[in-house]
Amino acid sequence: MASDPSGRRRWRGLQLAGLIASAWLFTLIAGLRLPFQQLHPLALVAFVMLRSFLHTGLFIVAHDAMHGTLAPANRRKLNRRIGQGCLLAYAGLNFETCLNHHIQHHHSPGSTKDPDYCNAADPSPVAWYARFLSHYLNPMQLLKLACCMALLLLIMPANQHQPLLTLVLIYVLPLIISSWQLFVVGTFLPHRKNPHKTDGFHQPISLNLHPILSFAACYHFGYHREHHSYPAVPWHQLPGIRTAVAQT
């Protein structure tokens, strides 16, 4: 039987999603048992950064699910179920709310209708970040997030003598770092105002990063112009799209 590379590519997104989710769950379980007070500071920083990167990965998987590119053969059910699961684990977020915001973002980028954009004349990153979060934080979402943290405290081993510190290191701090990673690389830098443009037309830009650095920065989310031009392309294929566009 002849090989079907295109068929294999159709499932690449789900395979990578499974890898990210498995690594996230493994490091979570391991972190519940780690004696953080005994770790070398460099090992502690490395663990937190790894957790942050994997936490960002959950959102990237959910983002592909919003575009229906995670499981192209079953968009309405499998994409949404996986996307909702990833967003709940990420920060207790609601998939439909995030989907509606993301649709608005793609339809009207850089406008007053864009929930991810700050229309102030010269917004600081902190002010833009606060506005960015305001569209996703609400009492119900915060309650879900509190429930996630309470559950982690409940399942923490009895011999973990600093449960609150452990919770901060394995979940709270990675969530904060991840939110900044997504905001800076995926929103602020690509969508900030260009002082040299005077036509009023908003065009996202891409960060000029090597594919390895782009992956480390935010799963190629920095290739943002390519993403807006080809929203049906999953995150792991954006470097190829960028190369193909550059050669045309």
Q: How many residues does the chain have?
A: 248
Which two structure tokens, joined as six digits, stand for 37? 């007070």
Of the two residues 192 and 15, the one the predictor is more confident about is 15
Judged against a pLDDT cut of 80, whether residue 226 lies above it is answered with: yes
C-beta neighbour count of 20 within 10 angstroms: 20
pLDDT, mean of residues 218-233: 94
Mean pLDDT across the chain: 88
Per-residue model confidence (pLDDT) at position 74: 61
Per-residue model confidence (pLDDT) at position 197: 53
Judged against a pLDDT cut of 60, whether residue 1 lies above it is answered with: no
**How far apart, in Å, do the first and last CA atoms of the chain sit?**
35
- Give 73-108 pLDDT, tens digit per residue: 667 788 999 999 999 999 999 999 999 999 998 998
Rg (CA), the chain: 19
Judged against a pLDDT cut of 90, whether residue 72 lies above it is answered with: no
Query: Are the C-beta atoms of residues 24 and 175 closer than 8 Å to each other?
Result: no
- Give 168-220 pLDDT, tens digit per residue: 999 999 999 999 999 999 999 998 876 445 445 577 889 999 999 999 999 99
Query: Are the C-beta atoms of residues 104 and 66 closer than 8 Å to each other?
Result: no
pLDDT, mean of residues 13-28: 96
Q: C-alpha angle with apex 168: 165 to 171, nearest 5 degrees? A: 140
Per-residue model confidence (pLDDT) at position 146: 92
- How many contiguous H segments (helices) and E segments (strands) does the chain have? 13, 0
Rounded to two decimals, the pTM is 0.90
Judged against a pLDDT cut of 70, whether residue 122 lies above it is answered with: no
The interaxial angle of helices 12-33 and 80-91, nearest 10 deg, is 30
pLDDT, mean of residues 39-54: 96
C-beta neighbour count of 41 within 10 angstroms: 7
Per-residue model confidence (pLDDT) at position 76: 77
Which two structure tokens, joined as six digits, stand for 172? 């709270």
Per-residue model confidence (pLDDT) at position 91: 93
